[in-house]
Amino acid sequence: MSSQDRSAWASIPWTPFADGASDSAADAGKTLGWHKARVPYAPGGVSLQTLDVWIPASADDDDPTGAVPDAGSLPSRPGHWIVFIHGGAWRDSKISASSFTPTATHLLRAVAAGSGSGTGAIAGLASLNYRLSPRSIYDLLDSARTAKHPDHINDVLSGLAFLQRLGGATGTYVLAGHSCGATLSFQAVMDPARWGLATVLAAKPAVLVGLNGLYDLAGFIASPPAKYAHLREAYAEFTRGAFGDDESVWKAACPATAESWPDEWKEGKRVVLVESREDSLVPYDQLEEMRAYLRTNSSLLVQEREATGDHDDVWEKGDRLAEILQEVISGL
Ligand SMILES: N[C@@H](CC(=O)c1ccccc1NC=O)C(=O)O
């Protein structure tokens, strides 16, 4: 860890993470853990090159007078890390790392209730921001919103590497991503040289969890399923916005069309694909294509889990996502 890493980490204090929405009045306001919001992970970086971290309260922290962890420390807990990458078509500034908050609440509540200890223990949670592509010309005035592939994946890898230098997300950890965040999760286990990058991770994740993911943009744009045909222009617009006009770049970047990448993921154990049949923005076909690719091109264990509701419900509610992540963690 460099002194630059140390001061970036220490620049954000730990704050108590309280149970804001517990059904049980007795639990409301209970400290579930400690939270750091928007920690800068890139030296001299912009507002979106930041990450959030949550650490479960330990038994010692139950004392209401228990001291807040030192801003320079990353308290160590037994168990596994989960890292989340949000979606929003590489451009929606209303969606950020904080979209993991409902899920983090459910997970840390389970830890506090004792159902998340032992084999299913959680060492920490992280959620990454990354620079976005412009949605309109006005966004070009904001240096956090002028990203073009591979800037998004570059930021994701930089955030992960930073967290690992601090001692988080080491060992056997889980990387989960929603929508274009699922695309980014799969890109994160490919050789960074594919993107002309040299970012070194201490370890890649052992499990990927793709939620309502985008896995083949060129295929969707060429022939969208009938019920989603009205979205073709929207897909073409955000795909060009993120990757440019060259279709071969889209194919090389998407995990269901990029060639023979599973060989580059030595740590890979398992892929969990989650999709809702009620998703009005991403068709189930994307999951099916990803599953077929993995069955043909890898010996990874591929599992499918259903979610309900529309595209964003899975992270807006967070209960089903927490359940899936707990199941994944207890299988490690
Ligand atoms: N609200 C988004 C739309 C969006 O996120 C989206 C639309 C269609 C398919 C996938 C999407 N998001 C994936 O990250 C936007 O502003 O473009």
Nearest CA residue ID for atom 8, ligand 1: 281
pLDDT tens-digit map of 2-18: 999 999 999 999 999 99
Closest CA to 88 of 75, 99, 76, 72: 99
Percentage of the chain lying above the pLDDT 90 cut: 90
Q: What is the DSSP letter of 82?
A: E
| pLDDT recorded at residue 30 | 80
Closest atom of ligand 1 to 231 CA is 8
Do the strands 80-85 and 174-178 form a parallel or antiparallel pair, or are they unpaired? parallel
Give the pocket of ligand 1 (CB within 6 Å).
Answer: 87-89, 91-92, 179-180, 214, 231, 234, 238, 281-282
- Domain range for residue 215? 3-330
CA of 229 to the centre of ligand 1 (A): 15
The whole-number pLDDT of residue 67 equals: 82
Say if CB 10 and CB 72 are below 8 A apart. Answer: yes
Number of domains in the chain: 1
Residues 6 or more apart whose Cβ sits within 8 Å of residue 28: 19, 20, 21, 22
CATH of the domain at 307: 3.40.50.1820
Which atom of ligand 1 sits closest to the CA of residue 90?
A: 14
pLDDT of residue 65: 52
pLDDT digits (tens, 9 = 90+) for 167-222: 999 999 999 999 999 999 999 999 999 999 999 899 999 999 999 999 999 999 99
Q: CA-CA distance, 187 to 288, in Å (whole number)?
A: 18
Q: Are strands 50-56 and 122-128 parallel, antiparallel or unpaired?
A: antiparallel
Return the best residue to mutate from 92, 233, 235 for the ligand 1 pocket (most ligand atoms within 8 A of CB): 92
Q: Which residue has the tokens 């160590």?
A: 76
pLDDT digit string, tens, across residues 109-136: 999 888 666 667 999 999 999 999 999 9
For ligand 1, the distance from its centroid to the CA atom of residue 89, given in whole angstroms, is: 4
- The catalytic residues are 179, 279, 311
**Whole-number pLDDT of residue 63:** 55
Q: pLDDT for 282-293, tens place per residue? A: 999 999 999 999
pLDDT of residue 13: 98
Tell me the residue ranges of DSSP E strands in 184-289. Answer: 207-211, 270-276
Mean pLDDT, the chain, rounded, equals 95
> Is the pLDDT reported for residue 160 higher than 70?
yes
Please, which pLDDT band fits residue 62 given cuts at 50, 70 and 90? low
Q: Is the pLDDT of residue 23 over 60?
A: no
| Cβ-count burial 206-215 (b if 16+ within 10 Å, e if not) | bbbbbbbbbb
The protein residue whose alpha carbon is closest to atom 5 in ligand 1 is 88
The pLDDT, as a whole number, for residue 1 is: 84
What's the order of all strands across the beta sheet hosting 174-178? 15-18, 31-40, 50-56, 122-128, 80-85, 174-178, 207-211, 270-276, 301-307
